[in-house]
Chain A
């Protein structure tokens, strides 16, 4: 796992972003960006060069949900291959299906432990060949 990978953390809650960023830093990542909603995250993605190596996003956010953000990423020619994790309190089967249909690479249901999240991050990056 390359610590220079670029990570984007998206959540409308400051404390949740802090928790996820802390877990990423514990894993050795140093290039971590953050956004408070899907709209801002989309702007960051468009301007990121090189593109982010991993997006970890919440689902329920104002302005643009994590699911809509995922759909935008998957519809973009340059960004469609970006490994994308949803980290969310939504756990109903219909929602998980919807996320898988939209192209999510991994789905983590809150609550989560730091170790559990790190495992899922590793798993996602490994599957994506990063």
Chain B
């Protein structure tokens, strides 16, 4: 079995050879890389991509092999790119002056997942902005949504979660805050300053989600003919935070920027029966 499995794709429009790098790239891998990269040169692609997702470390003994491959590609008017590097690895390679050598690019945007309708997201986006503007006196700037993957690092101290259960799909929506941002919102709404989240303060997240869900539910039920029922949110803190997404459904992350900090909403749905006609 190859140490550097590769596959060709055209997801970005241009044919690419994507090489999955092992999690620990050691000095002993240099020879194997040299051998295998020779075969990649024969492929009818102009871009070779090193997928660094999950890579914890790259031994400096590998750098000459990467450098040789990169130079060979340039000579043949081809390119080397590296994607999905974790932040620590990105910083290490950049600090070593290797950003150009590896052709490091921004983290690859998650691939669109089949079975997810953006018309389900928009009512929640609107409801979050409206609820925070009205109830929490906080203006929000939505950031670009993305689909959560194993490399997504999210700062979460408390979560309110409620099930999305209708005849068209099942799933859940979670309102997630870093602890400091949550406490600032609490202080703004209630006029009370707290150093840490307690059972007394924690139910604010459930109430905010209750209102968000109620508003979005009305729009989805009335506008799209869904049958989402009333539902009571649950609060997750501490060890229970990991329970918030435990299905195989793709999770869409909707980040929001505010003057009190960044927080986000997670929506995960799995269609059971789609009554929503997709646009062509």
Which positions in A face B, CB cutoff 8 Å? Answer: 12-16, 18-19, 22, 59-60, 62, 88-93, 109-113
Contacts and interface: CB of A to CB of B under 8 A. Distances in A.
Which of B191, B200, B207 has the most C-beta atoms of chain A within 10 angstroms of its own C-beta? B207
B210 A89 contact: yes
A13 B203 contact: yes
B203 A62 contact: no
B181 to A, nearest CB: 16
A119 to B, nearest CB: 14
B230 A60 contact: yes
B68 to A, nearest CB: 61
Contacts of A88: 214
Given A60-B230, A111-B131, A15 B190 contact: yes
Given A89-B215, A112-B134, 19 more contacts: A13-B203, A13-B204, A15-B189, A22-B190, A60-B210, A91-B214, A91-B218, A92-B217, A92-B222, A109-B214, A110-B135, A110-B210, A110-B211, A110-B214, A111-B131, A111-B134, A111-B135, A111-B211, A112-B135
Interface in B104-131: 130-131
A111 B212 CA distance: 8
Nearest to A65: B230
A59 B203 CA distance: 16
19 contacts: A12-B232, A13-B207, A15-B201, A18-B190, A19-B189, A59-B230, A60-B210, A62-B232, A88-B214, A89-B210, A89-B211, A89-B214, A92-B218, A110-B131, A110-B211, A110-B214, A111-B134, A112-B134, A113-B135
Nearest to B191: A22
A90 B200 CA distance: 24
A95 B261 CA distance: 36
A130 to B, nearest CB: 27
A58 to B, nearest CB: 9
Q: Interface majority SS on B: helix, strand, loop or mixed?
A: helix
Contacts, number: 59
A51 B70 CA distance: 83
B263 to A, nearest CB: 16
B215 A91 contact: yes
Contacts of B207: 13, 15-16
B231 to A, nearest CB: 8
Contacts of B232: 12, 60, 62
Contacts of B210: 13, 60, 89, 110
Contacts of B217: 92
**4 pairs of A and B residues whose beta carbons are closest in the complex:** A89-B214, A111-B135, A111-B134, A15-B204
Most buried by B among A14, A22, A113: A14
A90 B230 contact: yes
Nearest to B213: A89
B274 interface: no
B221 interface: yes
B206 interface: yes
Contacts of A90: 214, 230
A60 B209 CA distance: 13
A89 B204 CA distance: 14
Contacts of B231: 60
Contacts of A91: 214-215, 218
A19 B217 CA distance: 24
Contacts of B211: 89, 110-111
Nearest to A89: B214
Contacts of A13: 203-204, 206-207, 210
A59 B232 CA distance: 11
A113 B215 CA distance: 16
Contact of B203 (A14, A22, A109): A14
A115 to B, nearest CB: 11
A108 to B, nearest CB: 12
